[in-house]
């Protein structure tokens, strides 16, 4: 598959996802490469993923998953993780979400905004039946793409009390097309360790040891046909 290298002419990134764990299924490997190179990366989560663990109430799961996300972030060199207070499972791609995202982009003033895959299915259209992507993921990605423009326009959400920010050079969508790749071969173990921090979440998904699950997922997300390791992003101008 044709691909280009991911651009390097940026310094500050804001990585935006719907749930704790979303970033760790591949994108965090690229984050590890970036922070090791001295770039500054912050995370922004729209929800606390409180509806994500079967058998555990949202009141218990929310704080637990927030803590797991902070640990995961720390493993790849990200010290700042911010949570918006949207409800897990019922995220809507509307103005309230765009408003909160635009406010965060104005506050963080990133050169690069990274978000997660928001297509309807995880499988190519010719594969049927396809595996559906979650409504939260679709809502989040669409809203992030819109909020970058909102953040730069002084007449949109003028009452936020933040200076408009139109300095976003690139928007990157994890697993999007066409691929712009980051070589992550040097940070595979870091990426596995980062996903492994979602211990309680992973333990609820399978009886397999959490580190084994994490390794399998990182292999799926990063291994190339020739045995290399890379993470790909679709890229837009900000
Ligand atoms: Zn998710």
Q: What one-character-per-residue DSSP string does 104-132 give?
A: HHHHH--SEEEE----SBSS-TTSSSPPB
> Over the stretch 61-94, which tens digit does the pLDDT of each residue have?
999 999 999 999 999 999 999 999 999 999 999 9
The CATH number given to whatever domain includes residue 121 is 3.40.50.10320
Q: Which stretches of 63-214 are assigned E, i.e. beta strand?
A: 81-83, 112-115, 170-174, 179-183
Determine the distance separating the centroid of ligand 1 and the alpha carbon of 155, expressed in angstroms.
32
pTM for this structure?
A: 0.97
DSSP 151: H
Determine the distance separating the centroid of ligand 1 and the alpha carbon of 180, expressed in angstroms.
22
Determine the distance separating the centroid of ligand 1 and the alpha carbon of 95, expressed in angstroms.
20
Print the domain residue range for 134.
3-237
> Over the stretch 13-51, which tens digit does the pLDDT of each residue have?
999 999 999 999 999 999 999 999 999 999 999 999 999
Q: How many domains does the chain have?
A: 1
Determine the distance separating the centroid of ligand 1 and the alpha carbon of 169, expressed in angstroms.
26
Tabulate helix, strand, coil % of the chain (nearest 5): 40, 20, 40
Determine the distance separating the centroid of ligand 1 and the alpha carbon of 21, expressed in angstroms.
7
Residue 1 is predicted with a pLDDT of 58
């Amino acid at each position: 598959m044709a691909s280009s290298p991911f651009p390097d002419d940026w310094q500050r990134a804001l990585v935006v996802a719907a749930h704790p764990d979303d970033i760790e299924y591949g994108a965090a490997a690229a984050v590890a490469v970036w922070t090791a190179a001295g770039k500054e990366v912050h995370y922004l989560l729209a929800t606390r993923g409180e509806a994500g663990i079967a058998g555990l109430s949202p009141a218990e799961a929310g704080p637990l998953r927030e803590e797991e996300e902070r640990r995961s972030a720390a493993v790849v060199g990200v010290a700042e993780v911010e949570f918006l207070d949207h409800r897990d499972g019922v995220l809507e791609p509307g103005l309230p979400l765009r408003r909160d995202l635009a406010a965060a982009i104005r506050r963080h003033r990133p050169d690069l905004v990274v978000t997660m895959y928001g297509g309807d299915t995880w499988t190519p259209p010719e594969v049927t039946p396809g595996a559906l992507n979650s409504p939260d993921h679709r809502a989040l990605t669409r809203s992030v793409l819109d909020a970058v423009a909102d953040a730069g326009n002084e007449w949109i959400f003028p009452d936020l009390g933040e200076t408009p920010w139109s300095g976003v050079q690139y928007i990157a969508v994890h697993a999007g097309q066409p691929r712009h790749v980051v070589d992550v071969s040097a940070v595979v173990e870091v990426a596995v360790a980062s996903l492994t921090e979602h211990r309680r979440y992973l333990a609820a998904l399978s009886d397999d040891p959490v580190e084994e699950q994490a390794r399998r997922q990182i292999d799926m997300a990063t291994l190339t046909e020739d045995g290399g390791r890379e993470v790909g992003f679709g890229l837009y101008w900000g």
